[in-house]
Structure 1
Amino acid sequence: MHRSPRRLAAVALAAALLPLTACGSGSEGADTSEGADAAGGAFPVTIDHKYGSTTVDAEPERVVTVGLTDHDAVLALGTVPVGTTDWYGTHEAAIGPWATDLLGDAELPTLLTDTGTGPQLEEIALLQPDVIIAQYAGITQEQYDSLSEIAPVVAQPAEYVDYGVPWRQQTETIGRILGRADEAEQLIADVDALFAEARAEHPEFAEATAIPASPYEGYWVFGGEDPRSRMLTDLGFTYPEDVDAVIGDEFGANISEERTDLLDQGTVVWSVPDPEEGAEQLHQDPLYGDLAVVTEGREVFVEENSDFGVAYGFSSVLSLPYVLDQLVPRLAAAVDGDPDTEVPVAR
């Protein structure tokens, strides 16, 4: 990130005014035993991440989320962030209808706009956060260092690709940050029960492969560590190994026209701005349109900027119940083997 004098001044001001409630350590594999009893809300708690570890000494009151979906878990655990980060640009303060009831009488968080240069340091500094959460994120070492001058930062976990943290770990980690690990475990268990119910009702999912994709700059396929892919495997589907091998160490990638055969799966869940127009354009390409996944009607189309589409993209502990209610019957219709079965658009 380019550090302008204005940015550095904001950071210096925040550092001077803020008594930090936590401290960061640059050592890898730091001992987390002191936070082992955080299930009861005990502090301090130390959390390892991609750039070392961060210790939270006391319950944070002013939380800023840099991770694009992290605020859902924060809200689900009873805290309204003072700042959230924009992604879709479709909802006020980036809070979807599945989460608005949790705001209560609190003020809406300040929406932080990522313009492509990374987290906005001046805006974040003015919010005087106690902690900055970046779980579903891809912040760099330089961005982490800059943010750490404002407040303690819990960056994305090292063991997953950027933007690849599983929703369970995201929720568990945020629960520890907030001193509400027990509540986080219960939230996870409640959503897991919904997945178990769907798998029991649809054993056919376990016999099919599934991938999420987008016609972004050709054919973009989300990798096995993307939250959408994890949701599909949680439902029982198999993420195809040959697709993961092509995508490699990323949360997703474009595939070449020569490899459109990789799209011929049990089902493809397409995220498109306009489902009707998107389907027409995709099907006009003979390299894709002649595949069995098309001719046998095994596609699901999601309107990506609709409430449902945003919730699907989030695939968070808070949005997943909202998503599963619509998506499960559409997936069942897509994999039933009957091309005459209508698969309604998910809006």
Structure 2
Amino acid sequence: MSTLFRSTAVAAALFAGALSMATSAIAQDKVIAHAQGETTISGVPEKVLVQDWAAFDNLSALGVTVAGIPGSNAPGYLAPSIPADAAKIGSLQEPDFEGIAALEADLYIVGARSRNAYETAKEIAPTVDLSVDNGAIIDGLKTNLTKLGDIFGKQDKAAELIANVDAKVAEVKAAAEGKGTALVVVTNAGKLGVYGPDSRVSWLYNEVGMPSALAAVNDGDHGGDAVTFEFLLETNPDWVFVVDRDAGVGNEGGAKALLDNELFNQTTAAKEGNIVYVDPQAAYITMNGYSAVMLLLDQVLAGLNG
């Protein structure tokens, strides 16, 4: 074999290898559709930043390590999963764009509270918005698990988690059948509100199927639809599920003291002991995170079966 032939053969092999690698790299590019458009992600992201605790919750459940997290409102139930060396990249509502840029992330995730950061963030790093419609939290959770499973090549794990959610919802739905009406009461700075079928805990009505004690609720983002104790007694739900927003945002909780009230104690729920205090951070901060939803479903199930 001539030297020229050998050189040509080697060159051809090198070119073919380079072409194969380039083709493989292109094949790994993924176009991810999300709440604010589409984002192209090259390969499997290694350095991931999140401005949303529900996104952190879902990534943790999938076994994905996160390099940057919000510097505020960390839910206690997630504490064991939070890396000690994770960078703090601003609050839930106000990202630290300089810090985010310095980290040179492969993927940056925003959610409902940080979604306004998207237009700026997408110029810094590949960014996706995993905001979820409050009226369809379970569907939103499953969609996000599927999306993250595709991004990180963890489709099987995502499918396993989704199956867990479906099974738990079915279990709670069966326990709730025939148990009567429900009302989600939120306490906020000494005031009362109620959450309905478009709220942070909408799954109680929409998926679990407990009928609301109220025909209509004007759901609010924070304290719910404002009500009085007289109104609660008139509405008279069979079950009350309580979200202590003060405790949810890191302040001193006061729901139990507030509800220890002569009027409230006359409701069917109070007289029958059908009052369930759910994890306030799971219900208010990470309401569409995997562990949050599973924790809340378990608490509702324990209350119904109590």
How far residue 149 of structure 1 moved from its aligned partner, in angstroms, is 1.8
Answer yes or no: is 1:128 the counterpart of 2:104: yes
Q: Residue 178 of structure 1 corresponds to which residue in structure 2?
A: 152
How far residue 68 of structure 1 moved from its aligned partner, in angstroms, is 2.5
Structure 1 residues 178 and 266: alpha-carbon distance in aligned structure 2, compared to 1, 3 A threshold: farther
How far residue 49 of structure 1 moved from its aligned partner, in angstroms, is 3.0
The amino acid that maps onto 1:265 is P
Q: Residue 255 of structure 1 corresponds to which residue in structure 2?
A: 226
Q: Distance in 2 between matches of 1:206 and 1:227?
A: 24
Q: Residue 31 of structure 2 corresponds to which residue in structure 1?
A: 46
1:70 to 25, 49, 55: 55
Check whether the contact 2:182–2:213 (CA below 8 A) recurs between aligned residues. yes
Q: Residue 113 of structure 2 corresponds to which residue in structure 1?
A: 138
1:167 to 133, 137, 141: 141
1:221 to 194, 211, 215: 194
The amino acid that maps onto 1:210 is A
Q: Equivalences for 1:1-347 in 2 at 5 Å?
A: 43-89=28-74, 91=76, 95-97=78-80, 100=81, 108-114=85-91, 116=93, 118-135=94-111, 137-141=112-116, 143-157=117-131, 160=133, 166-200=140-174, 202=175, 204-205=176-177, 207-217=179-189, 218-230=191-203, 233-239=206-212, 242-244=215-217, 246-247=218-219, 253-257=224-228, 260=232, 264-272=236-244, 273=247, 278-284=255-261, 286=263, 288-302=264-278, 308-313=279-284, 314-315=286-287, 316-333=289-306
How far residue 331 of structure 1 moved from its aligned partner, in angstroms, is 2.8
Q: Distance in 2 between matches of 1:109 and 1:281?
A: 38
Count of residues in correspondence between the two structures = 269
Q: Which runs of 5 or more residues in structure 1 are unaligned?
A: 1-41, 303-307, 334-347
The amino acid that maps onto 2:184 is P
The amino acid that maps onto 1:147 is A
How far residue 146 of structure 1 moved from its aligned partner, in angstroms, is 1.1
Check whether the contact 2:188–2:223 (CA below 8 A) recurs between aligned residues. no
Q: Distance in 2 between matches of 1:230 and 1:299?
A: 18
| Normalised TM-score (structure 2) | 0.71
Per-residue CA distance 1:33-75 (angstroms, 9 max, x = gap)? xxxxxxxxx7433233332222223211111111221111112
Per-residue CA distance 1:217-252 (angstroms, 9 max, x = gap)? 4223334244433256444423567344x227x586
Provide the alpha-carbon RMSD of the alignment: 3.5
Q: Which runs of 5 or more residues in structure 2 are unaligned?
A: 1-26
Check whether the contact 1:65–1:71 (CA below 8 A) recurs between aligned residues. yes
| Normalised TM-score (structure 1) | 0.64
Q: Residue 11 of structure 2 corresponds to which residue in structure 1?
A: none
Check whether the contact 1:212–1:229 (CA below 8 A) recurs between aligned residues. no
Q: Residue 3 of structure 1 corresponds to which residue in structure 2?
A: none
Check whether the contact 2:242–2:275 (CA below 8 A) recurs between aligned residues. yes
Q: Distance in 2 between matches of 1:163 and 1:236?
A: 13
Per-residue CA distance 1:163-185 (angstroms, 9 max, x = gap)? 95732222222223323233212
Check whether the contact 1:59–1:177 (CA below 8 A) recurs between aligned residues. yes
How far residue 127 of structure 1 moved from its aligned partner, in angstroms, is 2.3
The amino acid that maps onto 2:281 is V
Q: Distance in 1 between matches of 2:156 and 2:113?
A: 27
Q: Distance in 2 between matches of 1:161 and 1:73?
A: 17
The amino acid that maps onto 2:302 is P
Check whether the contact 1:268–1:293 (CA below 8 A) recurs between aligned residues. yes
How far residue 214 of structure 1 moved from its aligned partner, in angstroms, is 1.9
- Among all aligned residue pairs of Structure 1 and Structure 2, give the percentage whose two residues are the same amino acid: 23
Q: Distance in 2 between matches of 1:163 and 1:197?
A: 19
Check whether the contact 1:283–1:294 (CA below 8 A) recurs between aligned residues. no
Check whether the contact 2:135–2:198 (CA below 8 A) recurs between aligned residues. no
